[in-house]
Amino acid sequence: MGCPDLICKFRSRSRRSSAIAKTSGDMHENEEKTALKVHDHRTASKFVLYEDGDVAGFVQYQMDGAEISILATEISDDFQDRGLTTKLFDNILANLHRRRLAVLPLCPDIRAFIYQNPHYHGLVPEDQRKRFGLFRPTDSLS
């Protein structure tokens, strides 16, 4: 069985030049603002990040009722070091909050992001936070 079209297209992309437009936080005067979009491809169980229509990365997940396990994150080399992972995670977690889904951050990248952004700790079920290291020395462990 071959890989899904989105993954194949993602992995086969050629490297872009650094002159391609960057995200608004890193823009230079002569660069145009890029269009970022996150789409939930539910049949493929992944959130896909698009920049100007190109697949920049994705987050793989698994649904189980009202609980979502975040399994893996990939950002293409062409899109590294531009803050896209943060934008992707913010978008996904806001979406999951609106949908009132519990989050199990199995992916170490999103787990670290949630740890560094305590306002997202509430998305992880309280009885699972210790499992994912989402408590700080000043937090209650009970």
pLDDT at res. 81? 86
Q: Is residue 47 part of a domain?
A: yes
Nearest to 41 by CA among 60, 64, 66, 65: 60
Flag whether the pTM goes above 0.75. no
Integer angstrom CA distances of residue 42 from 14, 36, 53, 62, 79: 27, 19, 19, 10, 23
Q: Is residue 2 part of a domain?
A: no
pLDDT at res. 130? 92
Q: Is residue 27 part of a domain?
A: no
Q: Is residue 41 part of a domain?
A: yes
Q: Is residue 3 part of a domain?
A: no
pLDDT band at residue 33 using 50, 70 and 90 as cut-offs: low
Report how far residue 20's alpha carbon sits from residue 44's, in angstroms, rounded to the nearest whole number.
29
Q: Is residue 49 part of a domain?
A: yes
Task: State the residue range of the domain holding 82.
Answer: 34-128
Average pLDDT over residues 59-66: 97
Nearest to 123 by CA among 94, 102, 140, 98: 102
To the nearest whole number, what is the mean pLDDT of the chain? 79
- Bridge partners (DSSP) of residue 39 are 48
pLDDT at res. 35? 85
Q: Is residue 73 part of a domain?
A: yes
Average pLDDT over residues 63-74: 97
pLDDT band at residue 136 using 50, 70 and 90 as cut-offs: low
pLDDT digits (tens, 9 = 90+) for 88-116: 999 999 999 999 999 999 999 999 999 99
User: Domain with 53 in it: what CATH number?
Assistant: 3.40.630.30
Q: Is residue 72 part of a domain?
A: yes
